[in-house]
């Protein structure tokens, strides 16, 4: 099975959580919109296909044979058992998915820090509100979300959040730590002493051979100011 991932070609964004799973799974996949021949046009063609019975609302989506699956957490729910990145039993798979949905909630709040008013406006048009939003995010939300994952790591009984085996949730938590470090280097530096297990998990994921190879390749798009995690000096004080 050759998987086709469709996502914006110049950002990590929500597609990155799927990319990390495909890379760790060691499977054959194409990042379609990044291919010169097909590009974003191939992605938009599927989104705008008025004959499609089940069109995706937005990228990312994954094509696997005739199946098209959208919503990153939904894609990972489906991919998990196929890539050996989620538990075999139903309760375990639901638990992994539940955590992934909590990661998705966190990501929406990260995006809101720089775009609290509207995604249709430039950051510069909502900078003052973004400062307020970011302050509240770091005061209330980061401790709540990351504190939760830190506690789970404490009681997981293994090196990873579900226990002994790595799962797509671990890959996503690596991305969260890496993203917060990119976007808020000063704030994150101060905060990291409160989440030693999450930092250790980040390092453990980075050291996995397939992830290390991926991160060193040009398949990994660098962080930038178009994605979820954006670095703006004035939000990091």
Nearest-angstrom CA–CA distance, 121 and 218:
30
Nearest distance from C-beta of residue 112 to a second copy, angstroms:
7
Positions 22 through 51 that interact with a second copy (CB under 8 A): 50
Cβ-in-10-Å burial (0-12, 13-18, 19+) of 209 comes to exposed
Least CB distance from residue 34 to a second copy, whole Å? 23
User: Least distance (Å) from a second copy to the CB of residue 162?
Assistant: 10
H helix intervals, the chain: 15-25, 39-47, 72-82, 90-114, 127-136, 142-155, 168-183, 185-191, 196-206, 209-216
Among 30, 42, 136, 215, binds a second copy (CB under 8 A): 136
Quick check: 69 binds a second copy (CB under 8 A)?
yes
User: Using CA atoms, how far apart are residues 142 and 26, in angstroms rounded to an integer?
Assistant: 32
Q: Which of 102, 143, 182, 220 binds a second copy (CB under 8 A)?
A: 102
Maximum CA pair distance of the chain?
A: 53
Cβ closest to a second copy, residue 125 vs residue 203: 125
Given 21, 43, 73, 183, the residue binding a second copy (CB under 8 A): 73
* Long-range Cβ contact pairs of 106-112 (< 8 A, separation 24 or more): 106/141, 106/145, 106/176, 107/14, 107/176, 107/228, 109/137, 109/141, 109/145, 110/137, 110/179, 110/180, 110/183, 110/228, 110/229, 111/228, 112/137
Fill in the per-residue mask, 150 to 189: x = in contact with a second copy (CB under 8 A), - = not in contact. -xx--x----------------------------------
Query: Least distance from C-beta 152 to a second copy, angstroms?
Result: 8
The position carrying tokens 């609302």 is: 57
Binding residue (CB under 8 A) for a second copy from 28, 36, 37, 57: 57
Count of residues touching a second copy (by CB under 8 A): 42
Given the complex with a second copy, which of 77 and 85 has the nearer CB atom?
77
Residues that bind a second copy (CB under 8 A): 50, 53-57, 67, 69-71, 73-74, 77-78, 91, 94-95, 97-98, 101-102, 105, 108, 112, 116-121, 129, 132-133, 136-137, 139-140, 145, 148, 151-152, 155
């Amino acid at each position: 099975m050759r998987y086709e991932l469709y996502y914006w070609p110049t950002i990590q964004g929500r597609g990155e959580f799927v990319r990390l799973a495909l890379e760790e799974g060691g499977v054959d996949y194409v990042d379609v919109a990044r291919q010169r021949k097909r590009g974003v046009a191939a992605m938009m063609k599927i989104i705008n296909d008025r004959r499609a019975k089940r069109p995706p609302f937005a990228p990312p989506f994954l094509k696997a044979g005739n199946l098209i699956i959208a919503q990153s957490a939904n894609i990972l729910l489906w991919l998990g058992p196929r890539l050996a990145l989620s538990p075999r039993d139903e309760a375990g798979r639901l638990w992994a998915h539940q955590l992934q949905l909590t990661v998705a909630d966190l990501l929406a709040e990260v995006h809101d820090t720089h775009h609290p008013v509207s995604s249709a406006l430039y950051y510069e048009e909502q900078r003052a509100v973004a400062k307020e939003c970011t302050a509240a995010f770091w005061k209330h939300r980061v401790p709540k979300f990351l504190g939760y994952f830190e506690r789970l790591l404490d009681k997981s009984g293994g090196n990873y959040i579900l226990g002994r085996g790595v799962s797509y949730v671990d890959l996503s938590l690596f991305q969260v730590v890496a993203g917060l470090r990119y976007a808020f280097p000063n704030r994150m530096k101060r905060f990291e002493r409160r989440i030693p297990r999450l930092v250790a998990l980040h390092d453990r994921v980075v050291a996995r051979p397939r992830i290390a190879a991926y991160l060193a390749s040009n398949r990994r798009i660098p962080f930038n100011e178009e994605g979820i995690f954006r670095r703006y000096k004035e939000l990091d004080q």
